[in-house]
Every structure is written in structure tokens, then in C-alpha cells.
């Protein structure tokens, strides 16, 4: 490979192609010579492909799955356009001049239907389609210059709307062929071969943009100056002119300036980054270009896109600069959505491009392991890789790793160039890093595919369900491309730690671990119980025999050297005879397996033997008495460390004291009881504590309890299995005490037992026990994780994780399938400690081996939300609600997760609530980082008290969308209507997502509330409720006012009844001329509908009588 040229510093963006759509076209059979793609359109969810056969293919962008095929017999598809505000509607135009509006009914899972058809342009070629930005209305332009519109009838518009056939209306006929149409805020932009025209569709006024004519296909489009419609800045107009010029005009059609791009385009084209070929850059290709821009499109973040058949051009018109231009051959059509471009070529081939910063492109190439392409981009765009800001996404280690992946024999020049780039790298700027960290503490941001940091301010930002972070998108994208399938397994877990009977009965792996032949055929009860007693007795007898055999041969065990610790080896007393041990361990009561209490008592009798043989070596002690046989072993285990139950911050000096063994306790408890009390009194006096206070040990501070992952002596396999069953059962039955009442003592006892005998415990059952019974005990969780880290330390995956490559680490973990959940948790814990939230977002792929309860115990609360959101998004949309229900075990987690989502990445309460606790104007438009998770949590069925708690939480945090939904479920509709009046958005009382009044009384209540707030607003300052008068629309059509509500009511019950209801409310209102006209039209439509219904009924009546005759 020859030396790669270096691109100038002015080029910081690229067009990159990562996805290959050829398999999609092959599956649709659009790669043959007979059928091919003729047009395309794109939206947030869909990619629509029109074909020469008249079929329209709807492709779901998530996973590139075909969802629908809409067929047309009226010719091939020439134009297609998706509705921008309701993705359930799409319009197509055929070669015979037919325009069809389809309602897909995907949410209702119904059949798609044609809701509107127009033959107004029969026999003419339709050149442009454009949707109204707020209504179900489509504008159509053809080669003869005719511009018409058709309205779609749908049940979403109200009762009876689906049966109304709206007439097709011709707006105007311009002087020549229509090249492009655009619509924004009630105004239609028509670009013809000679001029641009602006039309006010409400006032029916037309005027020209500029005075000079032109001759050719020149496009025009609206250009929003801000994302927020309430920002008060009207959009601009951009109209193409000859000689690579573009007019900038105001919203009223007045030309403000002319942008000349002829000399600015005298630069080499930016290389196209694609997997199909190596990037090519020719610095000598410099010549001015006098071009014709056939169409103009608004792209991404304040960019303007146009194209010819051989290149794509992207401008930044407000600064008058060329962002980039790239050569792409044989272009026929281009569709854009945000920073995505879908290009249709003359041969029917499709390509998917993304506009992004160079460093984001390199990062994605590294994730996809496209080593050669990533190295080439780094060498060509050195100015974008070298600055310190690029270290956020491309660290020096990642570039060193990239260099190591290149072949020294095949790419020596490329390696040399890459080494020069690495030498020029600037370290991460600490000032910039601290500034961005301070920004992230007050505001959240995500990185778009084009590389632009999009800040989501908590003081105001439009909500968007696609504003998830780049890391989340890339991880999901990587999983989709690599097509990993993970089998979903359900685990039935008991949530009550006290219900040991249920645990033993429901979980075969937890209860009845003795493999007893318990037959349920009818037998006499006495014989069945005798069989149980004999079997358990034999099991305990066999285990005790083996333990005592090991104890009697203990002189053969290697003893550790205690010379450094100053301890003296204490000989172990000889074990009792086998007959005596058999008599002690023989279970006389068959309820041992049927009653958990009896089973726990049997295990407590067995525990001292285990402690004597496999426990820690006891130190020599002369001031400790012998055990009292009357004292239960359970109390001895709990009271051996009364000081450890204190928090570390309260008693740091006690943390280092040694754990006394059961042998110490036995010697201590032989002494009479009064002596024990005297010792306690002495401890009180020496420590200076008052009587009755917990007393710490007077001995020297010991080291912390080590975790035993290996047996101190070799054990036979059969004995190891029996001991493992008994030790795990002892831990699961919580023989240390009641874990609900004695939390501190139970946690200490469990931790001590887990550390001492971890080599005997079943790791999976211990993991489940920690999740079910000890969620509030971090000491137990920490001890388990520490033990598993020690167990997995020798794994090869640990070496990969320590290198710091997250993608390789995840790939190594996937190769470990089938997974061992405890060991997998240990590896994920290492990944989380090394990479933080970035790694946690990818842990969703390991479900159900790793459950959310495991992640909760591992991660921070804010990081856990990101994991939970990714886990839910990994499921199909129709399955997310039921999947969330399976995760909410116990049900109390719902409220905890709701509070967590409401307090992280959310707006400030001062922005959503007024000082008196009422909703602020339009505060429901704020962006909630975990809005999708909140909607799922609220949408799950729950009892009345849970719904009430959620409603109060949503109101206290200002999450009005969820609060309105909960008010509807709780039948608190007056509160919902009052909230809507404060928010002042008429769309909240409209379908499909609004709170629609059901009765006439509710309409009257809503009108009265709006009248009260209107009177208050008129007496106060104009911006008293968040600037509703200053920032509202000029005509007030979106406000919750008595006039607008009366018009909505008139559509439901008719204008006469609506005006009568207005009088009943005591509201005196003079309708505007527009509202009066609407009422008259509704009267006419109502009469026509009545006549139509009467005619249909008469025909049905005649038909039935004829059949009867």
C-alpha cells in the first residue's frame, strides 16, 4: 500500500457506510433485472421501498426486518413519503397518477387499509409528495404544475371520521413542472422550474420568493432555526439558484442573502469511508463547480443537503460554509432522517450512510475490528485524531492495539504512517476533562452518529425516545450485526426468606438434597415415615463416620507453621467411639425433612463436628471456660462476635479482632453463669462503657476472616458431595437466627460461615440465597463476590479483561457458553470495576444467566438504570411489558425503580412545578432520560395502592405524562383535566394518547377549568405561567381555551349541543370568524351524514323485506 495523502484540517466530518443492505435487497428479490427499487423514504422506524412491480416494502430499521408489503395494480411506485408525526400513515404515488394514503394499523394489529385515494393527477407524472406537519393531509405536485391536497379519514380523528370521504382539492397550478414541495407551520413551499412560491394554506394567499426567474430543476426547503417549536424563531427558506448559489429567505418570502458556493466547492472531495473499497483522496482535484441543485433537504443538526447523479453536497448555510462533498456514483434518489442518508442508485442498489465526526468514525471502525480501514482513516485525518479531545473516544492504547493488528509484511507503509500519528497525539486535557465532567453533573448529553455532542439540559429540551447514548446504540448494533442468540430461561425464585417449607417444596435443587426415594404411591403412613427416618439416619450416620475417621487420623495432616504468629498447636481430643457418635446422630423423628425447624436443629448438632475438623485452628487460651451443654449452638454462633455487628465506621478498632471458634465457645460456656456475668462487668469497667452497652472483646485486634476456597485437607469426592449438601442447606435455612429480626447478627454469622466453608458450598445456590434473603446485607454480597474473584483468578478471561479491551473481553465471555452464573458474575464485576458504566450497558446480553438483582448488588444506582433500560430495549417491543413483569420480583421493586428513574437524568423540579406546586406551562415537553422505562413501569398492571403511590411520585417530580395516564386509571379525571389546563396543550385532550372527555359533564368541567385559568392569566403578567402568552402560537390553536374546547366538543356532539353546553357552563364567549365557519361546516357535514345513514337504513330495510317475502 502506497503512502496515504493527508486531508486538510478543514474537513472534520465524513460520510461512512457500515451496514450492507445487499442481503436485504436479495431477500426482497430486488436485485434481479426484472424487479428493482424505484423510490424510497425513511422515518424514525421505517424504511419504505417502492418497486417497479407496484409493491411497497416496509422495512423495520431495527434489525432490517420486513414487516409489510402493500400492493398496487395501478402501475409502478414513483413516489413514497412517510408521515412525520404519525408513522401509522404512509402515502404513495403510482406511474398512472394515483395517490393513495395507507393506514397501517400496526398498533392494533389490523390489516392496512386505503383511507384516501386521489385520481386528480390521472395520466400525469407525480413529481413530489409532502405531508402536513400536524394534520393528516398530503400535498401533491405533478409535471403540469398542478398542486392539490387530499385529507385522510381515520378513526383517530374522532367518531365517524373513518366513514367521511373528504374531497380532493386543487390548491393552485403554477407556471411549470413542480420540482419540490415543502410544508411548515401552515405554509406550503412550491418550487417549479422557473420560480419558488409560498402559499398560506389557511388564508389562501400566494406570493413569490424573490423576483428573478430561473430555468431548470432547482429545489427549495424550509430550514428550522431551532428544535423547539415554542422557541419563537420562524424557519428560514433556502431556494437553489443557478451557478451553485442558494437564496436564504425569511418565512414571509423576503430574500435575505445569497450564498455562493462555487469557489468554496473548489476543493478535493472528502473520501467516502466504506467497507466496499479503500478511501481515496486526490489533493490535486481542485476546480470550481457551477452546479444545479435539484433538491434541498434539511439534514441532522443545522445542515443542508443536496446531490447530483455523481456527488453528495452538505452545507452549513448559516455560516456559509461547505461541510463536505463526496463523490458517489449513479445516484437517483436520497432520503434522510437526522444524520442518516439512504441512497438509491441507478441499478437499484441501496447504501446506508451516516454523517459523523472523524473520531467517532474511527471509534466505530475499531469496534467492528475493521483494522485496515480504521488505520487508513487515522493516517488521512491526522488533524482530527491528534487533538486531546479525541482521547475521549480514541485512547492511545487503542491506537497501539490497532497498530499491533496490522501485518508488518503486507502494510509496512501504513504502520509507519500510523506510528507518526501516534507520536503526534496529545494527551487528554485535564481542564477540558474537568469542564465536561462539570457539565455532565448538571446536564446529560449523548453523542449523535455524526459525532456532535447533543446536550440534554434539565432546564429544557424536547423529549425524544431516540436520545439514548451512543454506547447503548453501538452495543445493540453490534449484537444485531453479529446475530448472537441467547436462550431465555425462566427461574422461579422464592421471595420469602422465612418460608423454608416453600423453598424445600418448590426448588428441587435447594430442598431435599439427599436424593431420597420418596415414592408417592399409597402406603401406610407409618411405613412411609419410617422409610424417611431410616434414610436420613443412614445419611447423617455415613457423613459423621467419615468426619470422625478424618478426625482420628488427624495426626497425619500437615500442620501450618504458627511460629510467626506466636501460636501453639493444640492437640485435638480423641473422637468418641463410632457407636456413641451413631447414637448421637441417629435421627429419631421423621419430621427432620418435613419440618424446617427440626432440620435446622439437626444441622446445629452437626455443626460443631464440622467446626472441630475443618474449622480454623484455635489459638491457645487459658482464660476461657468450657462449654455448657444447655446452651444452644445457634446462640453460640450468634454471640461469638457481638462486636462485629457494628458498622465499620462506628468501631474501626474492632474490625481486626479474631473470630473465636466453636471450641473456644465450648470451653467458655463450661464455667458457671455468675462467672460469665462478672467477666462482663469487668469488661464494662475496663472499657469505660455504662452497663447494658454492647461490650467488645478485651483481646487484641485480629486480622479479617479469610475466604477459604480450598479445603485445608484432601477430602474424598463422596464425602465432599455430602458435606457440600449439608453446609449449603445449613446456610440456606438461616440457622444463624431470624434474618428479618436480627439483621446485624445474621449478616455477621452468614459472612463468617461463608468465608470459612466456601469450599464446601454450592456456588449457584449461594448466589440465589444472596439475591433472595440478603439483599440488604452488603457484607454477605461482598464476601460472596470476593470468594468468586479468588476462584476465577486463574481463568484466561482475567488476562483479557486486565488488558483493557472491552470488546475482546465481552467476546471471551460469550465464548464461555454455557455460562456458570457465579463465575460469570465475578468476571462482570472485574469488567465493571475497569470500565464502569460503559461495560455495564453491555451486560444485558448475559441475561438470564445474570439477573438484575446481581447487577443491583454490583453497580451504582444510576448505572443500574442504564443497564435496566438496555435490557428492556433488547426485547421485542410487544414483549417488553410482560418481560418487565418477570423482572419485578418482588413487586415492591416497581416503586424503587420508578423513584430511581424519576431522579436521574430528569428535569429540575423548578422547571416542572410552580412554587405553589402546580404544573408549569408546557413542562410536559421536557426530556426524561429514562422516559421509556417510566412508561413501562407505569403501564404494568398493579394494585390500587401501588398506582396511587406512583401517581404521587410522578406529580411530586413533575412527570406529567405518567401522571395523566395514572389519573385515568385511578378514575381521577378531574385532577387530570386540571393538570391539562395548567399545561395548556390541547393535544392532551385528543386521541390517541390524550385524556379525552367521555361525557358531556366532563366537557363542561374542562371548559369551566379553562375559563378560570384564562381569567387568572388575564389578570396576571403575560409570562406568569411560564410565558404562555408570550411563547404561544399567534392564533392560539394549541391552547386549552374555552373556544378551542368548544370546537372539539362540536366535533363530537355537534355544534348546537356544544354551544348549549357552553351556555350551561355560564361562559360568555364570542366565537372568532374562523370558529364560526368551522361550526357551520360541521352542521353541513352532520346533515350529510344523517342523510347518508338514513339512506343506508332504508336500503337495508328494503333488502330485508325483500328477503322476507
Query: Would the pLDDT of 1102 be above 80?
Result: yes
Q: What is the mean pLDDT of residues 1016-1023?
A: 51
Of the candidate ranges 26-35, 268-277, 1017-1026, the one whose mean pLDDT is the lowest: 1017-1026
Instruction: Quickly state the pLDDT bin for 157 (edges 50, 70, 90).
Output: low
Of the candidate ranges 177-181, 532-536, 788-792, the one whose mean pLDDT is the lowest: 532-536
> Is-contact 980 989, C-beta < 8 A?
yes
Instruction: Quickly state the pLDDT bin for 607 (edges 50, 70, 90).
Output: confident
- Picking from 431, 446, 459, 419, the residue whose alpha carbon sits closest to that of residue 338 is 446
1086-1103: b (≥16 Cβ within 10 Å) or e: beeeeeeeeeeeeeeeee
- Exposure of 253 in the CB half-sphere (CA atoms within 13 A): 18
Partner residues linked to 41 by β-bridges:
48
Of the candidate ranges 271-275, 445-449, 784-788, 1038-1042, the one whose mean pLDDT is the lowest: 445-449
Q: Tell me the percentage of the chain whose pLDDT exceeds 90.
A: 25
Model pLDDT, residue 206? 87
- Describe the chain by its helix, strand, coil percentages, rounded to 5: 45, 15, 40
Specify the higher pLDDT residue, 728 or 617.
728
Q: What are phi and psi of 57, to 5 degrees?
A: -100, 125
Question: Taking the chain, what is the end-to-end CA distance rounded to the nearest angstrom?
Answer: 92
Instruction: Quickly state the pLDDT bin for 548 (edges 50, 70, 90).
Output: low
Instruction: Quickly state the pLDDT bin for 570 (edges 50, 70, 90).
Output: very low
Q: What are phi and psi of 962, to 5 degrees?
A: -70, -35
Environment class of 388 (CB within 10 Å of its CB; exposed 0-12, middle 13-18, buried 19+): middle
- Picking from 622, 587, 626, 627, the residue whose alpha carbon sits closest to that of residue 606 is 587
Four-CA torsion 812, 816, 819, 820, nearest 10 degrees? -90
> Is-contact 170 125, C-beta < 8 A?
no
Model pLDDT, residue 1? 57
Question: Would strands 13-17 and 350-357 be described as parallel, antiparallel, or unpaired?
Answer: antiparallel
Q: Is the dihedral of CA 838, 841, 846, 849 positive or negative?
A: positive
Specify the higher pLDDT residue, 1073 or 667.
1073
Residue 837's CB is within 10 A of a number of other CB atoms, namely 17
- 1066-1094 confidence digits (pLDDT tens): 777 777 788 788 888 888 888 888 889 99
Question: Would strands 89-94 and 77-82 be described as parallel, antiparallel, or unpaired?
Answer: antiparallel
Cβ neighbours for 750, distance < 8 A, ≥ 6 positions apart:
731, 734, 736, 739, 774, 777, 780
Helices H / strands E in the chain, number of each: 37, 31
Distance CA 50, CA 70 (A): 9
DSSP per residue, 809-821: HHHHHHTTPSP-H
Specify the higher pLDDT residue, 1075 or 353.
353
DSSP class of 626: P
Residue linked to cell 482475567 = 798
Tell me the C-alpha to C-alpha distance, in Å, between residue 949 and each of 749, 926, 942, 1080.
Answer: 36, 22, 11, 47
Q: What is the pTM of this model?
A: 0.45
- 676-685 confidence digits (pLDDT tens): 333 333 333 3
- Picking from 664, 612, 611, 604, the residue whose alpha carbon sits closest to that of residue 640 is 664
Q: What is the mean pLDDT of residues 495-513?
A: 37
Query: Would the pLDDT of 663 be above 90?
Result: no
DSSP class of 705: P
Region of 917 please: left (phi>0), alpha (psi -120 to 50) or beta.
left
Four-CA torsion 792, 797, 798, 803, nearest 10 degrees? 180
Q: What is the mean pLDDT of residues 299-316?
A: 92
Q: What are phi and psi of 807, to 5 degrees?
A: -65, -40
SS3 199: strand
Distance CA 275, CA 266 (A): 27
- 425-439 confidence digits (pLDDT tens): 888 754 444 444 444
Specify the higher pLDDT residue, 230 or 1034.
230
Of the candidate ranges 280-294, 708-722, 873-887, 967-981, the one whose mean pLDDT is the lowest: 708-722
Grid coordinates representing 209?
420568493
> Is-contact 58 43, C-beta < 8 A?
no
Residue 348's CB is within 10 A of a number of other CB atoms, namely 19
Q: Tell me the percentage of the chain whose pLDDT exceeds 70.
A: 72
Q: What is the mean pLDDT of residues 187-210?
A: 91
Distance CA 444, CA 166 (A): 46
Amino acid at each position: 500500500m502506497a503512502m496515504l495523502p493527508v486531508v486538510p484540517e478543514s474537513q472534520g466530518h465524513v460520510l461512512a457506510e457500515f451496514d450492507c443492505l445487499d442481503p436485504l435487497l436479495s431477500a426482497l428479490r430486488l436485485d434481479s433485472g426484472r424487479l428493482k427499487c424505484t423510490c424510497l423514504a425513511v422515518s424514525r422506524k421505517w424504511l419504505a421501498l417502492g418497486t417497479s412491480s407496484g409493491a411497497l416494502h416496509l422495512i423495520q430499521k431495527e434489525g432490517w426486518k420486513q414487516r409489510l408489503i402493500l400492493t398496487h395494480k395501478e402501475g409502478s411506485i414513483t413516489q413514497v413519503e412517510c408521515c412525520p408525526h404519525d408513522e401509522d400513515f404512509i402515502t404513495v404515488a403510482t406511474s398512472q397518477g394515483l395517490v393513495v394514503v395507507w393506514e397501517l394499523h400496526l398498533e392494533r394489529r389490523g390489516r392496512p387499509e386505503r383511507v384516501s385515494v386521489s385520481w386528480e393527477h390521472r395520466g400525469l407524472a407525480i413529481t413530489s409528495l409532502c405531508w402536513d406537519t400536524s394534520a393528516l393531509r398530503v400535498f401533491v405536485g405533478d409535471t403540469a404544475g398542478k398542486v392539490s391536497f387530499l385529507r385522510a379519514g381515520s378513526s383517530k380523528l374522532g367518531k365517524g371520521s373513518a366513514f367521511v370521504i373528504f374531497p380532493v382539492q386543487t390548491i393552485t397550478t403554477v407556471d411549470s413542472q413542480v420540482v419540490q414541495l415543502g410544508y411548515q407551520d401552515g405554509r406550503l413551499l412550491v418550487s417549479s422550474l422557473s420560480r419558488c412560491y409560498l402559499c398560506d394554506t389557511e388564508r389562501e394567499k400566494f406570493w413569490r420568493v424573490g423576483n428573478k426567474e430561473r430555468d431548470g430543476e432547482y429545489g427549495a426547503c424550509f430550514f428550522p432555526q431551532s428544535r423547539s417549536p415554542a422557541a419563537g424563531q420562524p424557519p428560514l427558506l433556502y431556494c437553489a439558484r443557478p451557478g451553485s448559489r442558494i437564496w436564504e429567505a425569511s418565512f414571509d418570502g423576503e430574500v435575505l442573502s445569497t450564498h455562493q458556493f462555487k469557489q468554496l466547492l473548489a476543493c478535493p472531495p472528502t473520501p467516502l469511508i466504506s467497507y466496499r473499497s479503500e478511501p481515496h483522496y486526490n489533493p490535486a482535484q481542485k476546480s470550481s463547480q457551477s452546479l444545479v441543485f435539484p433538491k434541498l433537504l434539511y439534514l441532522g443538526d443545522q445542515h443542508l443537503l443536496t446531490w447530483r447523479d455523481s456527488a453528495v453536497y452538505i452545507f452549513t448555510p448559516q455560516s456559509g460554509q461547505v461541510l463536505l462533498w463526496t463523490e458517489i456514483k449513479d445516484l437517483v434518489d436520497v432520503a434522510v432522517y437526522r444524520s442518516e442518508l439512504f441512497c438509491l442508485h441507478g441499478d437499484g442498489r441501496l447504501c446506508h450512510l451516516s454523517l459523523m465526526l472523524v473520531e467517532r468514525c474511527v471509534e466505530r471502525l475499531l469496534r467492528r475490528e475493521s483494522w485496515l480501514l480504521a488505520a487508513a482513516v487515522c493516517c488521512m485525518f491526522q488533524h482530527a485524531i491528534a487533538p486531546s479531545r479525541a482521547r475521549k473516544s480514541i485512547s492511545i492504547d487503542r491506537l497501539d492495539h490497532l497498530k499491533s493488528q496490522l501485518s508488518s509484511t503486507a502494510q509496512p507503509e501504513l504502520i509507519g504512517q500510523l506510528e507518526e500519528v501516534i507520536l503526534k497525539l496529545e494527551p487528554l486535557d485535564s481542564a477540558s476533562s474537568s469542564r465536561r465532567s462539570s457539565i455532565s453533573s448538571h446536564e446529560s448529553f449523548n453523542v449523535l452518529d455524526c459525532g456532535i455532542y447533543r446536550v440534554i439540559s434539565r432546564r429544557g429540551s424536547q423529549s425524544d425516545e431516540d436520545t439514548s447514548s451512543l454506547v447503548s446504540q453501538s452495543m445493540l448494533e453490534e449484537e444485531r450485526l453479529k446475530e448472537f442468540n441467547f436462550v431465555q430461561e425462566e427461574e422461579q425464585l422464592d421471595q420469602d426468606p422465612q418460608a423454608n417449607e416453600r423453598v424445600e417444596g418448590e426448588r428441587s435443587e435447594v430442598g431435599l438434597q439427599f436424593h431420597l426415594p420418596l415414592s408417592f404411591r399409597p402406603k401406610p403412613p407409618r411405613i412411609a415415615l419410617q422409610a424417611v427416618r431410616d434414610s436420613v439416619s443412614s445419611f447423617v450416620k455415613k457423613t459423621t463416620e467419615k468426619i470422625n475417621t478424618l478426625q482420628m487420623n488427624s495426626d497425619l495432616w500437615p500442620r501450618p507453621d504458627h511460629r510467626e504468629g506466636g501460636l501453639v498447636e493444640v492437640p485435638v481430643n480423641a473422637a468418641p467411639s463410632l457407636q456413641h457418635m451413631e447414637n448421637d446422630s441417629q435421627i429419631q423423628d421423621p419430621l427432620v425433612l418435613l419440618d424446617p425447624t427440626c432440620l435446622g436443629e439437626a444441622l446445629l448438632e452437626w455443626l460443631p463436628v464440622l467446626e472441630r475438623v475443618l474449622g480454623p485452628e484455635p489459638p491457645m487460651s487459658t482464660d476461657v471456660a468450657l462449654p455448657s451443654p444447655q446452651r444452644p449452638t445457634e446462640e453460640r454462633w450468634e454471640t461469638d462476635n457481638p462486636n462485629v455487628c457494628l458498622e465499620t465506621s462506628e468501631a474501626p478498632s474492632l474490625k481486626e479482632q479474631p473470630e473465636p471458634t466453636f471450641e473456644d465457645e465450648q470451653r467458655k460456656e463450661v464455667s458457671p453463669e455468675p462467672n460469665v456475668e462478672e467477666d462482663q462487668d469487668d469488661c464494662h469497667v475496663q472499657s469505660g462503657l455504662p452497663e447494658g452497652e454492647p461490650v467488645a472483646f478485651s483481646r487484641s485486634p485480629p486480622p479479617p476472616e479469610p475466604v477459604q476456597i480450598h479445603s485445608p485437607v484432601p477430602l474424598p469426592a463422596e464425602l465432599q458431595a455430602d458435606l457440600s449438601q449439608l453446609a449449603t442447606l445449613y446456610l440456606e435455612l438461616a440457622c444463624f437466627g431470624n434474618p428479618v429480626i436480627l439483621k446485624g447478627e445474621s449478616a455477621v454469622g452468614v459472612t463468617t460461615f461463608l468465608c470459612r466453608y466456601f469450599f464446601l458450598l454450592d456456588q449457584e445456590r449461594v448466589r440465589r440465597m444472596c439475591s433472595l434473603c440478603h439483599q440488604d446485607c452488603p457484607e454477605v454480597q461482598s464476601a460472596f463476590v470476593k470468594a468468586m474473584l479468588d476462584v476465577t483468578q486463574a481463568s484466561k478471561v482475567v488476562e483479557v479483561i486486565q488488558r483493557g479491551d472491552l470488546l475482546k473481553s465481552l467476546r471471551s465471555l460469550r465464548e464461555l457458553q454455557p455460562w456458570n452464573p457465579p463465575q460469570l458474575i465475578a468476571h462482570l464485576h472485574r469488567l465493571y470495576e475497569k470500565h464502569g458504566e460503559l461495560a455495564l450497558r453491555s451486560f444485558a446480553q448475559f441475561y438470564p444467566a445474570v439477573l438484575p438483582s446481581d447487577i443491583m448488588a454490583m453497580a451504582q444506582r444510576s448505572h443500574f438504570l442504564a443497564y435496566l433500560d438496555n435490557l428492556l430495549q433488547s426485547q421485542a417491543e410487544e414483549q417488553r411489558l410482560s418481560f418487565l413483569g418477570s423482572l419485578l420480583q418482588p413487586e415492591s421493586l416497581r416503586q424503587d425503580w420508578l423513584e430511581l428513574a424519576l431522579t436521574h437524568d430528569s428535569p429540575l423540579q423548578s422547571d416542572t412545578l410552580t412554587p405553589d406546586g402546580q404544573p408549569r406551562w408546557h413542562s410536559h415537553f421536557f426530556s426524561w432520560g429514562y422516559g421509556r422505562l417510566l412508561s413501562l413501569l407505569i403501564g404494568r398492571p398493579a394494585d390500587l395502592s401501588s398506582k396511587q403511590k406512583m401517581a404521587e411520585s410522578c406529580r411530586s417530580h413533575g412527570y406529567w405524562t405518567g401522571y395523566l395516564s395514572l389519573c385515568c386509571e385511578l378514575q381521577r379525571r378531574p385532577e387530570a383535566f386540571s393538570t391539562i389546563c395548567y399545561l395548556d396543550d390541547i393535544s392532551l385532550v385528543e386521541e390517541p394518547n390524550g385524556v379525552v372527555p367521555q361525557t358531556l359533564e366532563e366537557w363542561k368541567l374542562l371548559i369551566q377549568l379553562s375559563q378560570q385559568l384564562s381569567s387568572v392569566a388575564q389578570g396576571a403578567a403575560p409570562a406568569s405561567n411560564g410565558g404562555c402568552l408570550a411563547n404561544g402560537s399567534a392564533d392560539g390553536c394549541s391552547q386549552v381555551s374555552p373556544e378551542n374546547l368548544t370546537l372539539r366538543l362540536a366535533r363530537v356532539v355537534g355544534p348546537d349541543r356544544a354551544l348549549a353546553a357552553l351556555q350551561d357552563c355560564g361562559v360568555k364567549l364570542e366565537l372568532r370568524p374562523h370558529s364560526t365557519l368551522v361550526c357551520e361546516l360541521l352542521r353541513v357535514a352532520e346533515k350529510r351524514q344523517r342523510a347518508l345513514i338514513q339512506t343506508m337504513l332504508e336500503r337495508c330495510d328494503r333488502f330485508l323485506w325483500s328477503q322476507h317475502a
